[in-house]
């Protein structure tokens, strides 16, 4: 399964600990919105390319 994690803020150790188990056996990509200029066109493309999208605030 292809999973996209959308991160609005930099993940702390708890969030990283929650993301890691879902990565096992799956193709996982992270989209970091907290890095500055957000490429929303790329985000929309990724949403449609993945089977599951998880947003982290």
Q: What is the pLDDT of residue 9?
A: 95
Q: What is the pLDDT of residue 12?
A: 93
Is a pLDDT exceeding 90 seen at residue 57? no
Q: Which residues of 15-27 are buried (b: 16+ CB within 10 A; e: fewer)?
A: eeeebeeeeeeee
Q: For 2-54, how does the pLDDT look when each residue is reduced to its tens digit (9 = 90+)?
A: 999 999 999 999 999 999 887 889 999 999 999 889 999 999 999 999 999 99
Say if residues 7 and 54 touch (Cβ distance below 8 Å).
no
Residue 42, domain extent: 2-56
Q: What is the reported pTM? A: 0.87
């Amino acid at each position: 399964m292809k999973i996209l994690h959308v991160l609005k803020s930099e993940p702390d150790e708890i969030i990283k600990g929650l993301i890691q188990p879902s990565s096992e056996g799956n193709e996982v990509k992270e989209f970091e919105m907290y890095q500055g200029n957000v490429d929303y066109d790329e985000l929309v493309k990724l949403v449609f390319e993945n089977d599951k999208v998880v947003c982290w605030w």
